[in-house]
Amino acid sequence: MSIKTRILNLVSLEGKIAIITGAASGIGLGTAKRLAEAGACAALFDIDESGGEKAVMEIKNLGGVAKFYRCDVTSSTDCKKVTEDVMQDFNRIDILFNNAGIVLRKNIIDLSEEEWDRVLKINLKAIYLLSHHVIPHMIKNGRGSIINTGSGWGLKGGPNAAAYCASKGGVVNLTRAMAIDHGKDNIRVNCICPGDIDTPLLHGEAAQLGEDEAKFLEEAADRPLGRVGVPEDIANAVLYFASDMSSWVTGSVLVVDGGGLA
């Protein structure tokens, strides 16, 4: 076997089944495409049915395999049912990318209790719910890789983002706890902390703050590498954690932010 073939085998996800949440757009869509390109069958979870079906067609046009499942990741009933649907369709789950999330730019005073609950449910509780239903299947399969989307603001504070920072800080430490608990099951759990990524969520932040979008994006690019990220930057990191390239990596928190936290 040639060196090139051995390297390609390390990255290959051929025959693997990967669940991606928040897969209809942004980081989720970019990652679904990358994992499908690496050979995985991408199970796309989202509440956006039209966006999800469009994402499936995009992946198929790239030569990949994908199927859309409508899922409200804050609903235990949905998470259980859709996990069972994936198992019925493919008989295994190898990779879970807990990515669905929202950004709400408010401080504690301006934040309503309902808004606090919504951010924590989508960004943090959803990881618990889906992992709760997926991990038993990974245990039966003898292995698995779970990747959670944190944030640079899960490692440090940020202005006017109290609920978001709290939720992402929770994601970081939940990742570590899951890695400790399920290492014995040969399930690796890791976290990616993106910086500002050019997605609808980032553009929406400017509107929430009442700032000029062009100026907001220019300020977001003020980091050592001089640009905001793109979904593919995060997708490549997810591929690393999903593949055998990271076979001895668990409980890790990888910052992918163009040097912003530096």
| Residues paired with residue 187 on neighbouring β-strands, in sequence order | 144
Identify residue 185 by its one-letter amino acid code.
D
Enter the tokens of residue 229. 């990220």
Determine which helix (DSSP H) or strand (DSSP E) holds 61, and give its type and residue range.
Answer: helix 49-61
Does 164 qualify as catalytic in the annotation? Answer: yes
Q: What is the rounded distance in angstroms from the CA atom of residue 138 to the CA atom of residue 171?
A: 20
Buried b / exposed e along 110-134 (16+ C-beta atoms within 10 A):
ebeeeebeebbbbbbbbbebbbebb
What is the maximum span of the chain, computed from C-alpha positions, in angstroms? 62
Catalytic residue among 69, 128, 164, 240: 164
Query: For the sheet containing 144-149, what is the strand order?
Result: 65-70, 41-46, 17-21, 95-98, 144-149, 187-194, 253-256
> Among candidates 39, 33, 36, 35, which has minimal Cα distance to 14?
39
Q: Are strands 65-70 and 187-194 parallel, antiparallel or unpaired?
A: unpaired
Q: Which two tokens stand for residue 147?
A: 């990747």
Which are the catalytic amino acids? 164
